[in-house]
Structure 1
Amino acid sequence: MTSPPMLLRLGRRAAPSLIGRYRAAGTDTLFGVRPAVPRRFIIDTSYSAHFMDFKGSSIPSSMKKLVVTKLSQDFREAVSVRTVAVPTPGDAELLVRNRFVGINASDINYSAGRYDPSVKPPFDAGFEGIGEVVGLGLSASSRYTVGDMVAYFGSGGAFAEYTVVPAKESVPVPSMKPEFLTLLVSGATAYIAMKRLGNLAKGETVLVTAAAGGTGQFAVQFAKQAGCHVIGTCSSDEKGGFLKSIGCDRPINYSTEDLAKTLRKEYPQGIDVVYESVGGSVLELAVNSLANKGRLIVIGFISGYKTAAGITPFNGGTLPVKLLQKSASMRGFFLPHFIEDYKEALRSMMQMFAKGELVCEVDCGDMAQEGRFVGLESVFRAVDYMYAGRNLGKVVVDVAPPTVGDSKL
């Protein structure tokens, strides 16, 4: 089995190319809108190297960003807030004033140095954001202009008030909605994994672990759309109610119900497809619960990310026997390995979202003890909140709330 560090090293190189490859292929309408500026050839390049709307966009001279200064799976220990100069975009780059940034379970894998051991601190943190273009390089101006709204994800740097992003790795969005962040990684993972590895058939039984989380919510909906009976694990009755509202047939609150006993009693024939992101004992239970010809998809193992090893021990000594006895299969899913499916996945999800056929639940911490996640410093609280299992949907931080009268909401 490929080790997690090797898998993550591969991802650090591959992840930024997902959007970039499709931008290069002419997919400006990926999110259903075209850039505000039509493509054009630049004839005279002598007058400027980049455009910065200092007056209209009120770009300050300095900003805050989160920097990994020490390798640790403890995000608070690893990451510090730094005040630095606002960067200037290069020729093919955009300067984005971030409005929302997304929190991912893998943020602590990154702060622990598991993506690429050769990269040493300090390095920037954060993978995905959505914001307004306030500066851009000359060649980037053939596709974008100041004031455009874009979403992006890459290999670090989103946890900042301003981020320089390659234009080819950015996608125009019609509005500054945090829901778009849910689709870039979380939604795409569920969509492609279920389609390519799940091979869902009408009438089958599907189990989604951590079903009310950022990616689980999409796995539930896509399985239901395929005509399956959907089971979803969660940690509260509130989350169970949410799962029912998006089509989950049998939410199981594992804090009040015994998951193993419930599955044995209510699904004696086993589970056809499992979408698994927890790892450890939950993964072992998933293997034991598979039906004949069952498919188990591993998209993560969050229960182990906060440990020194990065993975929870798994008793796999009898795994070959268990799979053989049931003609079952167990496959891993890593989004950068499925870039050929990315464009179609995003387009399909955006169409469903626009038609009201897809729920993109966002958790900005409104119900958190200390309140909504506002400002860059609240990223620390947001990471803790997610790992405490309190989130319902994708955890998002509101980096820079708009001023009164802002029309880009």
Structure 2
Amino acid sequence: MTEMNRRIRLASRPVGVPQPDNFIHDDAPVPEPGSGEVLLRTLYLSLDPYMRGRLSDAKSYAAPVEVGDVIVGGTVSEVVESTVPEFTPGQIVQGYAGWQSYSVEPASRLRLLDPAEAPVTTALGVLGMPGFTAYAGLLKIGQPKEGETVAVAAATGPVGSAVGQIAKLTGCTAIGIAGGSQKVAYLEELGFDHALDHRGEDLRGALKTAAPDGIDVYFENVGGAVWDAVLPRLNTFARVPVCGLAANYNATSLPEGPDRTPALMRSVLSKSLLLRGFIQTEFVESTFADFLRDMGEWVRVGKVKYREDITEGLDNAPATFVGMLDGKNFGKTLIKVAD
């Protein structure tokens, strides 16, 4: 094969907001698959907030990307060459090729996709990791009950939008929090009962109006000022699935002001709150098949809608990634790498 493998690698660890010089763009020979492996051509690359943590060397639930390595990321790819009978050239698969145009992956890590069932991009969004995060986190940890109130921030993103729509399907009142009038209007289109702009002057007051009887489930994926506004509205026995803290991902120091940990712990104690952090992989074995069945049907019949924000060109991944962390995306953020 004469074509080269376009890659984006980690040049240095970002301090604060990632900068262009933290990334290396280069070309390398297309790799050859070994026994049990498949050569893939990347079609779409997923950009997700959790990846910011993996550019750091801080201890976390997943190993950091080493300086010099290709940056990690979920992908939808076309099979080019295979050493296993389960996959044949031309098939479309979901894998983890990362920020590169070709990859070799173990066949055991790939999920075969059927383009006739749903657009292949959904395997990186509503029918992939983000959608599953919403499904498992809300239903397994949040455990919403009919008539309760569920709130979620970053509500137009792939996780938050699914959380709100699933909450409606369970008979709950759904409150979505997003940034800007355009995103607020989209939440209304999705059927959220209340759509709040966190950039407004009085989010606390808006939450009090939207949830006069308090909030029973708050799906946390942002933190920061939104969490500060939500905490006083949580009811006794409220559940808080915590899947992300995007507001803090580029922070280089602790926030200024008094230590509010004692006030938080007092609320946890006095209201019997459940704060449960989770990584979606812990539910894969027990729940992923149910997710594919349920979410696949909901998407097919239009009960769950989704939006994708697609940028063309692998070289645009760093700038798009930084913009996503700053809330400039609108829906599931994808890079189209090839046709």
Of 6, 13, 21 in structure 2, the residue corresponding to residue 71 of structure 1 is 13
Structure 2: distance between partners of 1:345 and 1:118:
28
Q: 2:78 touches 2:91 (CA, 8 Å); kept in 1?
A: yes
Spell out the pairing of 1:74-85 with structure 2 (5 A cutoff). 74=18, 76-85=20-29
Larger mean Cα displacement after TM superposition, 380-389 or 227-236: 380-389
Counterpart of 1:334, as a letter, is I
Q: Which ranges of structure 1 fall in alignment gaps of 5 or more residues?
A: 1-58, 365-372, 403-409
Pair 342,76 (structure 1): closer, same or farther in 2 beyond 3 Å: farther
Structure 1: distance between partners of 2:236 and 2:69:
47
Structure 2: distance between partners of 1:338 and 1:375:
33
2:99 match:
159
1:106 match:
50
Determine whether 1:125 maps to 2:34. no
Q: Matched residue of 1:107: which SS?
A: helix
Counterpart of 1:250, as a letter, is H
1:145 positional shift: 0.5
Pair 348,60 (structure 1): closer, same or farther in 2 beyond 3 Å: farther
Larger mean Cα displacement after TM superposition, 175-184 or 108-117: 108-117
Q: Matched residue of 2:158: which SS?
A: coil
1:238 match:
182
Pair 77,147 (structure 1): closer, same or farther in 2 beyond 3 Å: same
1:318 positional shift: 2.3
Q: Say what the alpha-carbon RMSD is for the aligned residues.
A: 2.0
Spell out the pairing of 1:49-64 with structure 2 (5 A cutoff). 59-64=1-6
Q: Matched residue of 1:392: which SS?
A: coil
2:265 match:
320
Give identity over the alignment, percent: 26
Spell out the pairing of 1:211-250 with structure 2 (5 A cutoff). 211-250=155-194
Q: Matched residue of 2:120: which SS?
A: coil
Structure 2: distance between partners of 1:351 and 1:92:
33
Spell out the pairing of 1:300-339 with structure 2 (5 A cutoff). 300-308=244-252, 315-339=260-284
Structure 1: distance between partners of 2:94 and 2:63:
28
Q: 2:42 touches 2:100 (CA, 8 Å); kept in 1?
A: yes
Structure 2: distance between partners of 1:122 and 1:326:
47
Of 196, 212, 215 in structure 2, the residue corresponding to residue 268 of structure 1 is 212
1:125 positional shift: 0.7
Spell out the pairing of 1:21-36 with structure 2 (5 A cutoff). none
Q: Matched residue of 1:94: which SS?
A: strand
Counterpart of 1:143, as a letter, is E
Structure 2: distance between partners of 1:167 and 1:377:
27
Q: 2:65 touches 2:72 (CA, 8 Å); kept in 1?
A: no
1:107 positional shift: 2.0
Pair 149,253 (structure 1): closer, same or farther in 2 beyond 3 Å: same
1:217 positional shift: 1.0
Q: 2:77 touches 2:92 (CA, 8 Å); kept in 1?
A: yes
Structure 2: distance between partners of 1:300 and 1:117:
17
Provide Cα deviations, 1:219-274, integer angstroms capped at 9, x if missing partner: 11111111111111111121112111212110001223411111224423210100
TM-score (norm 1): 0.75
2:317 match:
379
Pair 67,261 (structure 1): closer, same or farther in 2 beyond 3 Å: same
2:91 match:
148
Which structure's CA Rg is the greater one? 1
Q: 1:284 touches 1:315 (CA, 8 Å); kept in 2?
A: no
Structure 2: distance between partners of 1:385 and 1:221:
25
Counterpart of 1:387, as a letter, is L
Q: 1:102 touches 1:128 (CA, 8 Å); kept in 2?
A: yes
Counterpart of 2:9, as a letter, is V
Counterpart of 1:319, as a letter, is L
Q: 1:75 touches 1:108 (CA, 8 Å); kept in 2?
A: no
1:117 positional shift: 6.7
Q: Matched residue of 1:268: which SS?
A: coil
Counterpart of 1:358, as a letter, is V
1:181 match:
124
1:389 positional shift: 1.1
Counterpart of 1:197, as a letter, is I
Q: 1:207 touches 1:274 (CA, 8 Å); kept in 2?
A: yes
Structure 2: distance between partners of 1:60 and 1:375:
20
Pair 336,377 (structure 1): closer, same or farther in 2 beyond 3 Å: same
Pair 75,228 (structure 1): closer, same or farther in 2 beyond 3 Å: farther
Larger mean Cα displacement after TM superposition, 374-383 or 115-124: 115-124
2:334 match:
396
Provide Cα deviations, 1:74-112, integer angstroms capped at 9, x if missing partner: 153322112111111121111111111111112221222
